[in-house]
Amino acid sequence: MLNTKKLWKAISVGLCGAALTVMLAGCGADNNSAVDKGVLKVGVTNFADTLEPTQNFFGWVVMRYGLGECLTKFDEKMNVQPWLAESWSISDDHTTWTFKIREGVKFSNGDPLTADAVKKSIERAFEKNNRAATFFKYKEIKAEGQTLTIVTEKPMPNMPGFLADPLFIIVDTSAEGSRDFAKEGPICTGPYMVESFVKEKAVMKKNPNYWDGEVPFETVEIPSIDDPNTRAMALQSGEVDMAVNIAAGDMDNFRGNDKFFVDEISSLRVVLARLNQKGILKDDKVRAALICGCDRETYNNVLLKGTFLPGKAPVPPSMDYGFDQLTDPNAYNPERAAKLLDEAGWKDTNGDGIREKDGQPLKLDFVVYNSRAELPLYAEAVQADLKKLGFDINIKTVDYNLVDQMGIKGEYDLLISNITTANTGDPEIFLSWYWKTNHNGDNPQNGSGYSNPALDVKFNELAAEFDKSKRRQLIIDIQQILLNDGAALFLGYPQTNIVSNKALANVKMYPSDYYWITNIIKPAGK
Amino acid sequence: MEILYDYISWNKQGDEEGMNYAVKRFIHLIPIIFGITFLSFLLMYLAGSDAVTEMYTNRGVEVAQEIIDEKKAALGLNLPFFQQYVNWLWGMLHGNMGVSYVTGEDVLTAFMKKLPATLLLTGLSISATVLISLPCGILAAVRHDKASDLLLRFGSFLGNAMPNFFVGMLLMEFLGIQLGILPVISSGIDIKSAIMPTLTLAIAMSAKYLRQVRSTILEELNKDYVLGAKARGISYQVILWKNVMKASMLTIMTLLALSIGSLLGGTAIIESIFMWDGVGKLAVDAINMRDYPIIQAYVMWMAIIYVFVNLVADLLYHHLDPRIRLGVNAK
């Protein structure tokens, strides 16, 4: 038996040795944050294969990484602010926009930013991506010194908002001959420039020619960590200093932890159920009952663990469109809901728990797709709450591809969506798509049959209104009308977050998803 | 005498038969590849969505239908399912694996670029598995039903019960965050970054393999010749190392060869979790984006690996075990 003893000993010695190595290595671990050495490490998820800003949506990444800048940008309330353009104005006929390009701005290669460079860059975006034309169509772009003029065919009230889209990142087109923008990164005006880029990891370095103050870090390393758990762990272990969009389940590790700073805001999205007014839901009282029978506070705070804010209005509170001043006549109130149904003539006559009227049961189809995890949860919660009131909600799960067509054709009673309300800073498109009257298919997205002439008047005013504060008021009015009419069930607004360790200062999440790495992010205490 | 004659004559034809066998197995590969690529194509199609929809709608903005249609037409995604498959197959038969729908990169180039990382991870995991499970398995068998055997068996049940992504998370929490000695995310394809994914894969594999080693040796130890040898006064060490191990090794090697296939497949999730930039992660990303050509390349790679590894294991058995060879000939 000697040999087995030897074997056993050998294994024990081996295991002890391994444990010792682990401990020794632990002593030598580098606990100093890289931030002190001028290196910022950011954990992100990157979907871009190249850095060509006109390819697909890759411009988002060019902007998120602190590389590219536009003429304008969105602030924390989605208001349009000057960026590379210092100011702008519009002609009296509303078709000529004049932008004053900021003086003294240089591209990272040292070339000056002129109106001509901006013109070529915008033209390049139109040439390379047909999505550009879906924002606006121009008749002519003129450049003179630092003055850029854009002449459009139709009045475009939201032109400054359109130009904040990363598709219109200003690049130095004259550098393109000697440089592969896709692989080596475009020449832009942001605080950082590309040292190396692959989808899995980008390394940025300081732009020596940056125009807007000192650039705080020599190097920015940006690994793309697609798995959300891994991203949270990399932040905890100090391998990254900040990370974007930490998952709900991991947030508790960071909230209330004095080593981390959490910035959590509601995004620009809304989750809503469209209500088809061609069937049972034609009756205002039934719609009102349905809406006020849904306990949206509980769905968002308990079921979704606070990762969504409770819904009320079409436009989320992250934007300055009067969220707090809007009143929801159909706030949660199950007693009122029951009363409304009684008044509308829906009663449970056969004792099966489902109400009937004229022999027809109160049965509704709720169309749901499940490519987003929260949608089935919402649908089931609504189903359970409404069951108590005597609704029979039939959840129909379909593929995402079908949802759009079903929405247009109106093949639903309730139809769930998770959509962006105002990518360009203005919710006009979103609101009119779903609720402006659809006359014989002239507004196909409104397949619900909802129509309110008073609302259409407001929409028409909005389309021609250029004054910012008047536009804001119109959008508030439109939302209030929709709430009063019980036009849809607004379930919640997804939150978005950025978490950083305390070695950093000024890390901030914006409702618009474009500004992650900025020149205001600095080492703490400097 | 007759048996001896058979044996000699088989050895003469042996090489030739081995070759035929290998060729036959490779011919079997053809229907397998057709079937498997068709099925994976069909499943992706039935799963709904496509690369263009994923590219545009997941960004959360409204994109005009004309733009989506135009892009779909450019990639041939508007064609009927069967035609899409035939187009892909036609290209493949002409040595053209196509280009990625998402990146536009040549599939073969993209694939070959990521392959070394996966092969390295696989190689390391197999080595670690052998290093852990062989000594432990032998120990468990020799100390049958003693404390060390029970402990090892308990460990092996535990290892089998935990899914490997969970093991990965535990290792990250313990080695990466609590002790802070290893990086949570790989900083490139290097040994330090490879330790955690290797351990994760090796723990699950070893748990399974340890039990196989243990039972193989136990079975051998219970054979009559061991009792006979003991009766003749041959020392236990000699019996164990010279006879039992020799006889068990063939089974052990075969089992190991077979598990390489499942290991190469099992790396996909681990690569994604640890940001290990190999073909597994490439495949997971491609599935999320419905990038058919890349998925097809991965599926073909897996099919070839499985068939090839099985073939090697068969040939190994065939060649090393005289009993099998004679059995074949006796037919």
Domain B108-320: assigned CATH number: 1.10.3720.10
Looking at the structure, do residues A373 and A487 belong to the same domain, yes or no?
yes
Does A121 reside within a domain? Answer: yes
For residue A420, give how far its alpha carbon lies from the nearest alpha carbon of chain B (Å).
6
Alpha carbons within 13 angstroms on the beta-carbon side of residue B212 total 20
Looking at the structure, do residues A284 and A155 belong to the same domain, yes or no?
no
Q: Which of the four pLDDT bands, split at 50, 70 and 90, describes residue A248?
A: confident
Q: What percent of chain A has pLDDT over 90?
A: 66
- Secondary structure in 3-state letters for A145-209: CCEEEEEECCCCCCHHHHCCCHHHCCCCHHHHHHCCHHHHCCCCCCCEEEEEEECCEEEEEECCC
pLDDT higher than 70, residue B59: no
Q: What is the pLDDT of residues B70-86, one digit of tens each?
A: 777 777 777 788 888 88
Looking at the structure, do residues A316 and A459 belong to the same domain, yes or no?
yes
Does A193 reside within a domain? Answer: no
Does A520 reside within a domain? Answer: no
Domain residue ranges in chain B: 37-94, 108-320
Looking at the structure, do residues A168 and A312 belong to the same domain, yes or no?
no
Q: How many residues does chain A have?
A: 526
Does A231 reside within a domain? Answer: no
**Number of structural domains in chain A:** 2
| From A20-34, A65-79, A470-484, B94-108, the region with the lowest mean pLDDT | A20-34
Looking at the structure, do residues A436 and A291 belong to the same domain, yes or no?
yes
> What part of B 6-45 touches A (C-beta under 8 Å)?
none
- The whole-number pLDDT of residue B198 equals 92
Nearest CB partner across the interface for B277, out of A200, A400, A401: A200
> What part of A 172-201 touches B (C-beta under 8 Å)?
200
Q: Which of the four pLDDT bands, split at 50, 70 and 90, describes residue B45?
A: confident
- Give me A202's structure tokens: 């980008």
Cβ-contact A325, A476 below 8 angstroms: yes
CA dist A337 and A353 (Å) reads 15
| From A180-184, A235-239, B202-206, B323-327, the region with the lowest mean pLDDT | B323-327
For residue A345, give how far its alpha carbon lies from the nearest alpha carbon of chain B (Å).
40
Alpha carbons within 13 angstroms on the beta-carbon side of residue A342 total 6
Residues of chain A with C-beta less than 8 angstroms from the C-beta of B285:
226
Which CATH number goes with the domain that contains A118? Answer: 3.40.190.10
Looking at the structure, do residues A169 and A273 belong to the same domain, yes or no?
no
Residue B271 contacts A, CB cutoff 8 Å: no
For residue B96, give how far its alpha carbon lies from the nearest alpha carbon of chain A (Å).
22
User: Alpha-carbon torsion A499, A502, A503, A504, what sign?
Assistant: positive
pLDDT higher than 90, residue B304: no
For residue B255, give how far its alpha carbon lies from the nearest alpha carbon of chain A (Å).
23
Looking at the structure, do residues A325 and A474 belong to the same domain, yes or no?
yes
> What is chain A's mean pLDDT, rounded?
89
Contacts of the segment B221-224: beta carbons below 8 A, 24+ positions apart: B221/B141, B221/B144
**Predicted-complex ipTM score:** 0.70
Residues of chain B with C-beta less than 8 angstroms from the C-beta of A233:
169, 172-173, 176-177, 184
Helical pair A453-464 and A428-435, crossing angle rounded to 10 deg: 150
User: By CA distance, what is A28's nearest residue in B?
Assistant: B181
Which residues on adjacent β-strands are paired with residue A356?
A: A347, A361
Residue B169 contacts A, CB cutoff 8 Å: yes
Residue A332 contacts B, CB cutoff 8 Å: no
Name the one residue in this structure whose structure tokens are 């990164």.
A185
Residue B130 makes CB contacts below 8 A (sequence gap 6+) with B256
CB-based contact A60 B57, cutoff 8 Å: no
Phi, psi of A504 (to 5 degrees): -110, 155
User: Alpha-carbon torsion A166, A170, A174, A178, what sign?
Assistant: negative
CB-based contact B237 A399, cutoff 8 Å: no
DSSP per residue over A466-521, as a string?
--HHHHHHHHHHHHHHHHHHT-EEEEEEEEEEEEEETTEE-----SSTT-SS-TT-
Residue B179 contacts A, CB cutoff 8 Å: yes
| From A127-141, A173-187, B243-257, the region with the lowest mean pLDDT | B243-257
Q: 10 Å Cβ neighbour count for A110?
A: 10
> What part of A 3-32 touches B (C-beta under 8 Å)?
3-4, 7-8, 10-11, 22, 25-26, 29, 31
Looking at the structure, do residues A467 and A318 belong to the same domain, yes or no?
yes
- Give me A396's structure tokens: 């129909």
Q: What is the pLDDT of residues A318-363, one digit of tens each?
A: 888 999 999 999 999 999 999 999 999 999 998 899 999 998 999 9
- The whole-number pLDDT of residue A274 equals 96
Residue B177 contacts A, CB cutoff 8 Å: yes
In a 10 Å sphere around its CB, with 0-12 CB exposed, 13-18 middle and 19+ buried, how is residue A252 labelled? exposed
Q: Of A407, A414, A396, which is closest to residue A293 (Cα–Cα)?
A: A414
Looking at the structure, do residues A373 and A486 belong to the same domain, yes or no?
yes
Domain of residue A454 covers 269-495
CB-based contact A226 B272, cutoff 8 Å: yes
Q: Which of the four pLDDT bands, split at 50, 70 and 90, describes residue A6?
A: low
Nearest CB partner across the interface for B103, out of A26, A49, A200: A49
The β-bridge relationship of strands A269-275 and A242-244 is: unpaired
Nearest CB partner across the interface for A237, out of B60, B67, B176: B176
Q: What is the pLDDT of residues A351-404, one digit of tens each?
A: 899 999 998 999 999 999 876 778 889 999 999 999 999 999 999 988 776 787
User: By CA distance, what is A31's nearest residue in B?
Assistant: B180
Dmax (CA) for chain B in angstroms is 87
Residue B233 contacts A, CB cutoff 8 Å: no
Does A86 reside within a domain? Answer: yes
